[in-house]
Amino acid sequence: MFDHHDLLRLQKTFSEFSLDRMCRTTNTDLPALYHYLEFYGFLYTLKGLSVEYYCGYRTPEGEAGRWGRIATHYWRLSEARGTVFVVHGLFDHVGLYQPAVRYLLDQGYSVVAIDLPGHGLSDGEATVIDSFDSYADVLAECVAYFESRMQGPAYGLGQSTGGAVVLNHCFRAAKCGDSCPYQAIILLAPLLRSVRWRWVNMVYRAFSPIIRSINRSFVTNSHNESFNHFLATSDILQSRRLSVRWVTAMREWAFNFDQQPKLDVPALLVQGTGDRVVDWRFNVPAFCGKLSNVEQLQIDKAMHHLVNESPEYRRPLVKAVGVFLANHAASGADASGFRDPNTNERDLD
């Protein structure tokens, strides 16, 4: 079990990130860290694999450093086809992405994942950000840090808000005349507009001057009922409030999207038609209009949290991801599937 007492202890004792020191995954010295790793499935991810695992806090250099310490995780294979940077969505954190991490490791890719500012173990007021550009700055600094320390090319994989962050990182590089930071990107239900967009804007205009945050409602975002239950009842890293500043940043991202440059980076865009979080009917054509080399996969009735969907909806996703990475890697890769989160050793019920 990972409780609030463990969280407070871990935030105080989580070590500085260093590639000179692998993470200790035993319960002898740091029980709060062990409880975290066990509860969210990190130990299951590492089971049976020959992989070096590093974790800790990094304070980004430059402007991105104003957001404080960023919880950083690195799974390094001795001979990797490349390194995938995994970026989570709103309210999420790295712990929820262990199914994706294990799959990528099984396919021969090292993985880097961070908790965005205001999420998970990272510093910052819950869900507070001034602009999606700030998320992109934090990610860009992370990719730059690992550039000379990793094997093979870099790939980006983002879910929902994380997809927007990966894409915005590419946009910002293009505006500066730099090469794309990724050999290819994977966007899972990426965010541009949220559902009920007109209503969101009407409420925002009416109440944003007088309130700082709103209560969060836990919408059903997966057919995996145990995952939905876990988020709503057991995951203490889930914020129960949404900052109005985050909504401001989302609106800025959406309203300025038409001014973004076109990109030729190979991209895979995966979207479920049962998504109740993003306005995918508007978003998908808009994203495709900015990506000249994009493959699309539409999964009938799949919901928003694709990484943690139930197996029947996850199978076409992982097949597409495996084939896509294989096609854009230096060597081929087999496509199997994310493991079922229900086989995780953590108790979701």
Residue 1: predicted pLDDT: 87
Residue 344: predicted pLDDT: 42
Residue 25: predicted pLDDT: 83
109-168, pLDDT tens digit by residue? 999 999 999 999 999 999 999 999 999 999 999 999 999 999 899 999 999 999 999 999
Residue 86: predicted pLDDT: 98
Task: Report, as ranges of residue numbers, the positions in the chain whose pLDDT lies below 50.
Answer: 331-349
How far apart CA 283 and CA 280 sit, in angstroms, is 5
309-346, pLDDT tens digit by residue? 999 999 999 999 999 999 998 533 343 344 443 344 33
Name the one residue in this structure whose structure tokens are 């496509």: 335
Q: What domains can be seen in the chain, in order of their start residue?
A: 4-343 (3.40.50.1820)
DSSP string covering 182-222: -SEEEEES--SSBSSHHHHHHHHHHHTTT-SEEE-------
Residue 28: predicted pLDDT: 59
Residue 24: predicted pLDDT: 81
Residue 338: predicted pLDDT: 42
Asked if residue 103 lies in contact with residue 318, where contact means CB atoms within 8 angstroms, the answer is yes
For helices 31-39 and 4-13, give the axis angle rounded to 10 degrees. Answer: 120
Percentage of residues in the chain with pLDDT exceeding 70?
A: 93
DSSP string covering 235-253: -TTS-SEEEHHHHHHHHHH
- Which pTM value belongs to this model? 0.94
